[in-house]
Amino acid sequence: SPASATIVKGQSLQATAVVDAVLGANKSVLWSVSPDAIAEGVKITQTGLLTIPANYDHQDIQLVAVSVFDEDIDDTVEYTIV
């Protein structure tokens, strides 16, 4: 994923992650946003579908992907909300 991107309030965005794995290691990731964002109606599915509610009152959000195989491997994307 890019280091930053833009998402529109009231819409969804499908995030993707590419995990280099060897010898058949699990390439899945766990997606997350802050608990505060969840409390304010942001949704993130385990397939990476990020939905920002139309009334979300912040200008940005961080989306984190963590490797299922090795939790020390992660990446964060900062989304600007417009």
Tens digits of residue pLDDT in 18-36: 888 777 788 899 999 999 9
Q: What is the pLDDT of residue 1?
A: 56
Q: Distance between CA 55 and CA 62 in Å, rounded?
A: 17
pLDDT at 8 exceeding the cut of 70:
yes
Token output for 26: 């699990």
* pLDDT above 90 for 47: yes
Cβ pair 10, 17 in contact under 8 A:
no
Distance CA 63, CA 38 (A): 12
Query: Would you say the C-alpha torsion 34, 40, 46, 52 has a positive or negative sign?
Result: negative
